[in-house]
Each structure stands twice: as C-alpha cells, then as structure tokens.
Amino acid sequence: MTTQEIRIAVAELCGWRQTGAQCEPGQNEVKHFSRNYGIAREQRLLEYELPNYPESLDACREFEGTLRDDNSLTGKVAYCNILMRVCGTYQGCVTSTALQRCEAYLKMNNKWKD
C-alpha cells in the first residue's frame, strides 16, 4: 500500500469520512475528509486535513487509544501480536515506527492490501 492509501484506510477506521468535495488538479485529496462531532443535540460536520498516521507516532495514538483492554480480536493483545510479526521481534514492538503500527492496525482490521 502507498502512504496515501494507508493514511486514508486508517482514517476511515478512526471515523473520518470523505466529504465528496472535488479536488482541484494537483490538490492533495486527504484535505477532503470530515468528522462528525455531536455538540448539544447538533451534529457539526467539520472539514480537516487527515492526521499523517504513517509518519507520526503521535497520530497513531488516536487508533491505539481505541484498542480494548481485553483479549478480543480488537484488543491490545491481538494488536501487539500482529505488531510483533510485522516488526520481527518482541523488542521491535517497542521501537516500531508509525508505519509499522499502521500496518499492524490495518492487518488487525483486515484492511491491509499487499
């Protein structure tokens, strides 16, 4: 997968949706995403540029924070097991890159494309 595809796939799993806005020629398509925020009975649709998940460990905290604390298929244990396979060693998980974490998260959700 390209960096752009990874960025969009992770964003969609985190709740981001494409707004349907047309990109100008040469414009970066990741700017046309939005997120619903419930604010006092009112749904506001805000447009943002997507976080750069494949290059930022800080951005990865968004999806890592959604992992459950149990032993389910969407839990931290499953994520760590997949991350260990991506990194090659258990110690590699501690020093894994943002790209490796994205790959593990997408594999855990069956969204990774080889």
14-62, pLDDT tens digit by residue? 887 766 555 454 444 444 555 554 444 343 444 567 789 999 999 999 8
> Mean pLDDT, to the nearest integer, of 84-89?
90
Domain of 65 in residue numbering reads as 3-108
Phi/psi for 25 (5° steps) reads: -55, 125
pLDDT at 19: 60
Q: What is the mean pLDDT of the chain?
A: 77
Alpha-carbon distances of 77 from 15, 22, 29, 40, 68, rounded to whole Å: 22, 40, 34, 36, 9
- Is 42 part of a structural domain of the chain? yes
Domain count, the chain: 1
- Is 102 part of a structural domain of the chain? yes
pLDDT at 42: 40
- Is 9 part of a structural domain of the chain? yes
> Mean pLDDT, to the nearest integer, of 60-75?
82
- Is 87 part of a structural domain of the chain? yes
- Is 113 part of a structural domain of the chain? no
pLDDT at 38: 45
First and final CA of the chain: distance in angstroms? 6
- Is 114 part of a structural domain of the chain? no
- Is 46 part of a structural domain of the chain? yes
- At residue 96, does pLDDT exceed 90? yes
The predicted model scores a pTM of 0.76
> Mean pLDDT, to the nearest integer, of 88-106?
90
pLDDT at 55: 95
Would strands 33-39 and 17-18 be described as parallel, antiparallel, or unpaired? antiparallel
